[in-house]
Amino acid sequence: MTEQLSADDWIKQGLKALARSGFTALKADPLAKAMGVSRGSFYWHFADLSAFHAAVLKRWREIAAEEIIAGVEAVGGEPLKALLRRSFGARLDLERAVRNWAAFDPAAQTAVRAIDRRRLDYIEALLQRRGFSATTARARAQLLYWTFLGFALSGTPVPPARLQGLLDEILDMLSA
């Protein structure tokens, strides 16, 4: 890479390394080597590894919640259905990697708790928009989120046609 790298370039490379190799890959030397630069560029943008980790976690929160929510809201139609398709249809390597990281790092654990809360609040709001009481929406949001986490953490591929059938069943159960 001949052009000067930005902090965002480092964060993007960090997210790729995290999804591919786990949190132990989030170090200046291997990232610099993968990008074909010296690690001096890393320290130009980040005071230390902790600052870099914080930036990676912040970007993950944006990708894994805010960008998804904005996309769901932008498409119109039935937002819960769009959320299910987008969430269950996504590659979830990064989700698994961050949750694994959270088992070993308090900052990652805090980020995971924050995103869990944000996602649950959003699902609950969607269910309330569909006419469910606050209590019912909260319970169903929790059940749906646990379903998503089980799916995400299992890492088991599901053929698209079968996945669509499962998502239809989830919607039916939520609406019952």
**18-22, 82-86, 89-93: segment of lowest average pLDDT:** 89-93
Spatial CA neighbour of 12 closest among 59, 58, 69? 59
pLDDT at position 3 = 58
Read off the pLDDT of residues 129-170 as tens digits, 9 standing for 90 and up: 999 999 999 999 999 999 999 999 998 888 989 999 999 999
Read off the pLDDT of residues 41-55 as tens digits, 9 standing for 90 and up: 899 999 999 999 999
Read off the pLDDT of residues 85-106 as tens digits, 9 standing for 90 and up: 999 988 899 999 999 999 999 9
- Position 1 pLDDT exceeds 80: no
- How far apart are the C-alpha atoms of 8 and 29, rounded to whole Å? 17
Phi (first) and psi of residue 105, to 5 degrees: -135, 125
- Is the Cβ–Cβ distance between 36 and 71 less than 8 Å? no
